[in-house]
Amino acid sequence: LGASKPQFIYQFIEHTLQPGPDVSLKCIAAGQPTPQIVWTLDGFPLPQNDRYVIGQYVTVAGDVISHINISKVAVEDGGTYECSANNRVGKATHSAPLRVYGPPVVRKMPPISAVAGEPLVITCPAAGYPIHTITW
């Protein structure tokens, strides 16, 4: 079999919900060699807390199934979630919003490095729904 870049067989959909329930987001990717799946929230690594559980396994067919289970979803869990499947041949990404009703919250951002003279895009890691405006 030849090498092939990752492609998604299944992608999670957007959700809009009240705080409290458990939420599961799932991506299934195929590719040769077997891709690795990485998750981000608003372009940053997922928060490190006990409510986030990431599971990942490879089926006998070689597909990668990866999911995030978020227990007792809270306003600050809202944002754009992305699963990214990578192998040496290429990359596939999928993202969709998780909107949680509540007052606006801005998550802390890790330090960001930039190269002088190069474009830089910084997304405000805000949660809460609805949010009408964000001001820097």
> Average pLDDT per run of 10 along the chain, which is 136 residues long?
92 97 98 96 89 95 96 96 97 98 90 92 90 87
Q: Which residue has the tokens 């891709």?
A: 35
Give me the CATH code for the 4-129 domain, please: 2.60.40.10
Integer Cα distance of 54 and 46 in angstroms: 10
- Identify the helix (H) or strand (E) that includes residue 79: strand 79-87
In 3-state terms, what secondary structure has residue 5?
strand
Query: Cα 128 from chain centroid?
Result: 17
On the CB side of 1, how many CA atoms lie within 13 Å of its CA? Answer: 9
* Contact by Cβ (8 Å): 3, 62: no
DSSP class of residue 98? E
Residue 1 confidence (pLDDT): 61
Residue 23 confidence (pLDDT): 97
Which token pair is 78?
A: 């809202």
| Confidence (pTM) | 0.90
In 3-state terms, what secondary structure has residue 45?
strand
Domain regions of the chain by residue span: 4-129
